[in-house]
Amino acid sequence: MTDVHLDLVEERCPMSLLLVKRAFKQIEIGQLLSVRLVDKHSVSDVLQYLSIQNAAIHHRIEGEVSVINIRKQDD
C-alpha cells in the first residue's frame, strides 16, 4: 500500500474538492492521502468534507501551501 500525493496548488474549487473526493474514495483503510492546496476556499471545502468522513486529518501550513494528510479509518 503506497501513499497517494495530490498536488492541487494550481486547482481551484470546485475541481480541487472533486479530485480530493475521488482520491479519498479510492484509497484503502490505513492508506495515506496527502493533498497540497493554495486556494483558501478549497482548503475550507476539503476540510469540511473530510470532517464528515471516517478519516484522521492533519492540516499544516508551509508558507502559502496548505498540506492536508488524510488517513482513511475503519468504521
Q: Model confidence over 40-54: pLDDT tens digits? A: 999 999 999 999 998
Residue ranges in the chain modelled with pLDDT below 50: none
User: Residue 70's pLDDT is what?
Assistant: 97
Full-prediction pTM beyond 0.85?
A: yes
Return the half-sphere exposure (C-beta side, CA atoms, 13 A cut-off) of residue 26.
Answer: 12
User: Residue 44's pLDDT is what?
Assistant: 97
User: Residue 52's pLDDT is what?
Assistant: 94
* Cβ-proximal residues to 27 (8 Å cutoff; 6+ apart), any chain: 4, 33, 72
